[in-house]
Amino acid sequence: MAGQLTSPQATGGAGPIFEYRVATIMLSRMIREAIIPAGTELPVFRVGFQQRNAGYPLDDIVAHARPRRPGGQSSAPRIQFQVKRAIRLQSQDAEFCKVIAAAVQACQGHPQDMRDGRLLLGLAAGEPTAGLADLARLADMARAEDDIDSFRHQFRKGVTSERLRKLHETISAAVAGLVSTDSGLDAEHLTFRILDRLHVWHALVDDDGSDWRAELDGVAGIAASAGLEATDLLGHLYRLACFYDRHGGTISAARVRQRMLSDHGLDIRLPGQGDGQLASGNTVHVHGNGPTWVGGTQVFPNLRFGSD
């Protein structure tokens, strides 16, 4: 973990409504076992908020993918998101500079996980549409190449557009400005590594946004199991996101269900839920670093709270 510890309340940033809506979609995808919106095709397993103290410089949301096998949580990828309602991909934009600085810190703090693909970088932003599309294209170009040399060849004139070449130059210059000459780090290789691991989520989360509307459809069945409208369930998840964001917490689907039952008397049914009672010791932790396991068994979400 780089730098000194900070208060989770101090790292929430501006534009909390947008950030909490993005977090609401992540929580909704988690309880319905849908995939993480960017970076991996694996389902959301648990979600952390304001996780800088846990070593994630892109700290707004950390989405952990479901382990591929019981007991395999160490191999499950995770993606740390920085959330921005708007970000201008220009060297003079303060928010852009903060994101690049956080990406550099992530590469320096977790070099092996970054190399192996167990740790990914995410940017969830609402605008501008064209700029985010260009950044996503640049990241895809990096992933399509095996090494820095082949990636470098993509920026010859006539191969890649001037717009993308300039964006790459802007990112490279920002990275170079953050890497000291005596650190032993190569700014060009570091830029390639950042782009290779960066995933852009163009988050359309206003009331009429496609992501928000799709989530209303996706969570409708779970909402109906508790006698709720989908909008009401997302409202409850929004308030949970606000709470966990303020306290730098981590939450699983099982914990969401428990909170819904204890806070509102609502018994939502999760996908694949069995008929057993809640296992003893099932917890979801604040300021924790791993999913809960009971006797070597994965506690997620095929457990039941309360009774009919």
**Taking the domains of the chain in order of start, what are their residue ranges?**
9-202
pTM of the full predicted structure? 0.81
DSSP string across 157-179: BTTB-HHHHHHHHHHHHHHHHHS
DSSP string across 121-161: EEEEEEE-HHHHHHHHHHHHHHHT-SSHHHHHHTTSBTTB-
Give the pLDDT confidence of 168-201 residue by residue, as tens digits.
Answer: 999 999 999 888 655 556 889 999 999 999 999 9
How crowded is residue 50: how many other Cβ atoms within 10 Å of its Cβ?
A: 25
Average pLDDT in the 260-289 region?
59
Nearest to 282 by CA among 297, 271, 293, 266: 293
Give the pLDDT confidence of 104-162 residue by residue, as tens digits.
Answer: 999 988 888 888 889 999 999 999 999 999 999 999 999 999 899 999 999 888 888 99
pLDDT over 90 percentage in the chain: 64
Residue with tokens 């919106």: 37
Average pLDDT in the 229-235 region?
96
Residue with tokens 């969830």: 124
The C-alpha atoms of residue 217 and residue 227 are separated, in whole angstroms, by 15
